[in-house]
Amino acid sequence: MYVLQKLNRFVIPRTELTYPGHLLKMHRNAAAAPVDHVMPDFEDACPYEYKGDASRETMVEALSTLDFGHKVIAIRPNNIHSKFFLGDMEAIVLRAADRFHGIILPKTEGPQDIVYLSKLLDSLERQGGWTMRIQIEALIETPLGLTNAYQIATASDRMAGLIFGIADFGAAMGVREIVDDQNRNFHYAKQATVVAAKAAGLHAVDNAYLRLVRKDTSPDDARVIEEGLRQKNVEAANLGMDGSWVIHPQQAEIVNECYTPSEEQVAVSKQAVEVYHELGGGSIVNPHTGEFEDEATIKGKLMDLAKAVQAGTLDAEWLADQAAKSKGVTGYDILEVMKRA
């Protein structure tokens, strides 16, 4: 979860738009995109010739001059073992104070990587005169990183989320098919990432879908691509993912929908929660729907309704009141424990 101190709100990203950070045009497009989070990239998306000063100058200019609105801005530097890592970090933290919110650390292998980054940020924030605190998302994209995922998630109080990186993980595992059958081929790895994130009270973000609709794509092929995008993210949401990377603004609308409860779902969940408390809790059958409800199913609905609050389709005070009723009986507010409030 990103806590945006100056905007007095928190964000659990449904859509994280990743794009090459060495092109100012890409930054402008990202600033206008309908996504929750943007991730300009120094690493895999940046050609060799632009690594170093060229990409850093563009990144600092974009952060200093463009209006990204209410979006979370998190920057992916080159990986911690790269000769470019430290220079990337010094450039953006020292020259763009309070202009972004997070660092996305690629190829995170263990908690020591997060500890090193967190201590580096302590120093650079002081030098740069930051009034905000930079948060961290870790990319889980190696077998060792997955094995250490919970230790990574709890290595620093700067941690906001874990992201599953399918391309590098697939390469390391020797898995060829990373698009069509990905939620089957990587089921364990994706849900292990989710479990580690949720155990630490962090958000979990799924990998990008690597097919795009091009200018020369036929209408039939476009429908197939869009349906594949939707299916991948509906399935990922059902694994517990809170959102997904996107690689083009064209993917944003579908992906946002997949991680946002519909008006009908909000109405059904809201009615169930209200009826549950009216009937005194315990194990009940909703007289309006015939559905079984108990404390566990109601907690699930509260979690889903928290997504509606973030999307602006449900009143936050109403949700807080319902969660307080549950806590008054059980001593347990799932929204507090899972950092959804």
* Three-class SS of 241-304: CCEEEECCHHHHHHHHHHCCCCHHHHHHHHHHHHHHHHCCCCCEECCCCCCEECHHHHHHHHHH
Contact 19, 30 (CB under 8 A): yes
Beta strand extents in the chain (DSSP E only)? 2-4, 9-11, 15-20, 37-41, 72-75, 102-105, 135-140, 159-164, 203-206, 243-246, 284-285, 292-293
Contact 69, 28 (CB under 8 A): no
Q: Band of the pLDDT at 33, cuts 50, 70, 90?
A: very high
Averaged pLDDT for residues 302-325: 87
Three-point CA angle 130, 135, 138, nearest 5°:
145
Give the pLDDT confidence of 114-165 residue by residue, as tens digits.
999 999 999 999 999 999 999 999 999 999 999 999 999 999 999 999 999 9
Contact 72, 310 (CB under 8 A): no
The two structure tokens encoding residue 254 = 């579908």
Averaged pLDDT for residues 235-251: 96
Residue with tokens 């979690």: 303
- Give the chain's mean pLDDT: 93
2-258 maps to which CATH number?
A: 3.20.20.60
Q: 120: which DSSP letter?
A: H
Residues of the chain with CATH 3.20.20.60: 2-258
- Lowest average pLDDT, out of 180-184, 228-232, 284-288, goes to 284-288
Q: Band of the pLDDT at 7, cuts 50, 70, 90?
A: low
Contact 130, 152 (CB under 8 A): no
Whether residue 341 is predicted with pLDDT greater than 80 in this model: the reply is: no
The two structure tokens encoding residue 252 = 């944003």
Number of neighbours of residue 111 by Cβ within 10 angstroms: 18
Averaged pLDDT for residues 260-287: 88
CA distance 123 to 212: 41
pTM of full prediction above 0.85: yes
pLDDT: which is higher, 279 or 130: 130
Q: Band of the pLDDT at 8, cuts 50, 70, 90?
A: low
To the nearest whole percent, how much of the chain has pLDDT over 70? 99
Contact 18, 24 (CB under 8 A): no
CB neighbours of 98 closer than 8 A, spacing ≥ 6? Answer: 6, 130, 131, 132
Dihedral of the CA atoms 137, 140, 141, 143 (nearest 10)? 160
The two structure tokens encoding residue 277 = 């408390």
CA distance 4 to 100: 10
CA distance 338 to 341: 8
Q: Band of the pLDDT at 276, cuts 50, 70, 90?
A: confident
